[in-house]
Amino acid sequence: MPHLHGFTKTLRYNLLMPTDVEEQALRTTLLYRRVVTYYLQVFQEHQEIIDHGKWLKMAEKLTHRTKDNPDPEYPFDREFLNLPSGFRRSAIAEAHGKAQAWKTSYEKWEERKRKHEERNRRRIIAGKKPIEFAERPPQYPKDNNCWLSYYGTEYKWLDSHHIMLKMFTGKSYVYRKVTLLQPFAVPPGYVAGSPVLVKKPTGWELHVPIVRVTKLNLKKIEELVKDTSLKICLVDLGMNRHAAMTIQDTEGRVYAAKLISAAKDNHLRKRYLEKIVNLQMQTGVIPEGERFAKHLWDKVSNLNDDIAHRVSRQIVDFAKIHGAKIIVFEHLDGLRPSKGTKSHRLNQKFILWVKGRIFRYTRYKALHEGIVTCRVSPKETSSRCPYCGFPTIVRYNKGKNGEETKGVDLAKCTNCGVRDINSDFIGSLGIGRNFRLKYCP
């Protein structure tokens, strides 16, 4: 079954499997990963087909022996005898996704390198020394920890609690019955995609992607703001706090507020990055083509993705609870990390990266709840006072004795005198002001 496109979400079910079925599930997963690695090599040697519209058909022609294709370039069928077609096509799609992501990253790296060399040429003309381009190119994926996505006839639903999954016994492929501990049910207006078998520390799970097939009747923002009872969720994404949220109406009145702390997550990420930097300093030169400190980078990547999912879910739930029909963010594309130690700068860079992902995750999760998501200009959202209207907001912290110190946690207005207000709360009010200036008459 082909991958479903559009806004999807995933239903997760805990599984009950006998010991022998668990062993077969693990054996099948390891086999699947070998197949994905095989096709990664095929795409690496034939990069011209990665962006081709018929990449699946071309990859199969290179590897799969048929009556019309008796002598393919790669002897895939000899190495993976009698592999089910659904497994093969699932592995091709997985490898293609990884190869395509690498190619996109590599082309962006080449563009950054080209721009850097162009700046160096201008520096040389101006009599300055060129600056070395130290960024390494993205490495082509060689290993993978992907999970088997069941295509086509490789699975059969028996009822809401049971599914037949094809598994590799070591000699042949057989269907095994698996029990879902929670009843499988697809919400109205959705269709289920290919189930994915996943091993978690707590046991095996079945992840089922679902996509909305009925068109959402989402009104345009210009139509929504005509409703005087409209509630809007304004979200200010920050460094020290993942998000500061307020529920406002079209007049700017605040009905609810919530802060999501980032202290624990930032501290954990910074610890990982400090370990990576220290290892790099101890190692010195890193061999070309190797991914340095892979286990630590994987932890950082998993942490960032977990943060984006957790925070986006809290944002959507907060908006839904208070009846908000619009979630508003500010454009943050132009932000750059400040100068500092390498680990500190990396941490800031990842925080900015997570902000973009939080917005994307919130957008598709909000869609399933019938909530519109948009962004507005960040101009003066944190510097203009929401009470007197002057750009006289100053940020600071409070010391142990109550004196003001350098920092960004609190805010005060030097014009109207309001003080000791959470600075991220001020930011969310500023986002609300810019939203009203743009959309409200």
For 130-187, the pLDDT digits (tens) are 999 988 899 999 877 899 999 988 999 999 999 999 999 999 999 999 999 999 999 8
What distance lies between CA 400 and its chain's CA centroid? 39
Q: What is the pLDDT of residue 335?
A: 54
195 and 256 belong to one structural domain: no
Residue 215 pLDDT: 60
372 touches 327 (CB < 8 A): yes
Q: Hey, what's the torsion of the CAs at 310, 315, 321, 323, to 10 degrees?
A: -150
Q: What is the span of the domain harbouring residue 28?
A: 8-212
Domain boundary among the residues 190, 212, 234 is at: 212
Overall average pLDDT of the 205-218 stretch: 78
**DSSP three-state, residue 9:** strand
Per the domain annotation, does 3 fall within a domain?
Answer: no
Q: Which of 164-168, 307-311, 393-397 has the lowest mean pLDDT?
A: 393-397
What is residue 197's three-state secondary structure?
strand
Predicted pLDDT at 333: 64
Q: Is residue 201 situated within a structural domain? A: yes
Residues 204 and 239 in one domain: no
Q: Which of 147, 179, 212 is the last residue of a domain?
A: 212
Give pLDDT, residue 284: 60
pLDDT band at 279 (very low <50, low <70, confident <90, very high): confident
Task: Tell me which of 183, 212, 241 is where a domain ends.
Answer: 212
- pLDDT beyond 60 at 338: no
pLDDT at 64: 93
- Give the number of domains in the chain: 2
Q: Considering the domain boundaries, does residue 135 fall inside one?
A: yes
Residue 331 lies in a domain: yes
Quote the pTM value.
0.66
Whether residue 55 is contained in a domain is answered as yes
CA angle in degrees (0–180, nearest 5) for 242-233-312: 40
With H, G, I as helix, E, B as strand and everything else as coil, classify residue 321.
helix
Q: Which residue has the tokens 């790296």?
A: 109
Residue 121 has pLDDT above 80, yes or no: yes
For residue 229, being part of any structural domain is answered with yes
With respect to residue 2, please indicate whether it lies within any of the assigned structural domains: no
| 203 shares its domain with 273 | no
Average per-residue pLDDT for the chain: 87
Asked if the model's pLDDT at residue 3 lies above 50, the reply is: no
**AA identity, residue 316:** V
305 and 362 inside one domain: yes
DSSP letters for 78-107: HHSTT--HHHHHHHHHHHHHHHHHHHHHHH
CATH of the domain at 430: 3.30.420.10
pLDDT tier at 327, thresholds 50, 70, 90: very high
Residue 290 and residue 179: Cα distance in Å, rounded? 41
pLDDT band at 41 (very low <50, low <70, confident <90, very high): very high
The strands making up 404-413's β-sheet, listed across from edge to edge, are 393-398, 404-413, 421-422
Statement to judge: residues 75 and 197 lie in one domain: yes
- Is residue 402 scored above 80 in pLDDT? no
Are 105 and 242 contained in the same domain? no
Whether residues 226 and 196 share a domain: the answer is no
Comparing C-alpha atoms, which of 173, 216, 210 is closest to residue 371? 216
pLDDT digits (tens, 9 = 90+) for 344-364: 555 566 666 788 889 999 998
- Domain match, 70 and 198 both: yes
On whether both 208 and 241 belong to a single domain, the answer is no
Six token digits for residue 383? 């510097």
Same domain for 183 and 233? Answer: no
249 and 308 belong to one structural domain: yes
> Would 235 be classed as within a structural domain?
yes
Report the candidate in 395, 431, 439, 428 with the shortest Cα–Cα distance to residue 413.
395
225 and 203 within one domain: no
